[in-house]
Amino acid sequence: MIDVQELESIYSLPQDATYYISYGRAFEDAVKAFRERYFYYPDTVYKIRGNTSLLYFQVERWDEKHVPLCPRCGGRLLYDGYIDPNEGVGEGECWRCEHCDYSIDIVDD
């Protein structure tokens, strides 16, 4: 479960809060999009009152044991999309390195 805190303004945010901008999305949809893209759950979500398109996330340091790493440069692998089984390679996921843009397809046989 995520801790959601509503604040009066961005000036009330803690200094270590990172942010994710979601244009035109509802609050729940923005949190879901963040989870799908960055492969981890924020500990605290700060919702700025009156501003539905900007959410701030406070994220704990990554535990390196649970982070998929790039075999080429050692950077974090980010979820890059679903592989449709109708494409002829099977059903699976595509992961892309945030640093060197290396791509890995993980396909179920």
Q: Is there a contact between 7 and 13 (Cβ–Cβ < 8 Å)?
A: yes
Query: Distance of alpha carbon 11 from its chain centroid, rounded?
Result: 24
Residue 105 CA: distances (Å) to CA of 69, 74, 95: 14, 17, 6
Please report, in tens digits, the pLDDT of each residue of the chain (109 residues total). Answer: 567 777 777 777 777 666 665 555 666 777 777 667 665 556 677 777 665 555 655 544 445 556 677 888 888 787 777 777 777 767 788 888 888 888 888 777 5
pTM (2 d.p.): 0.39
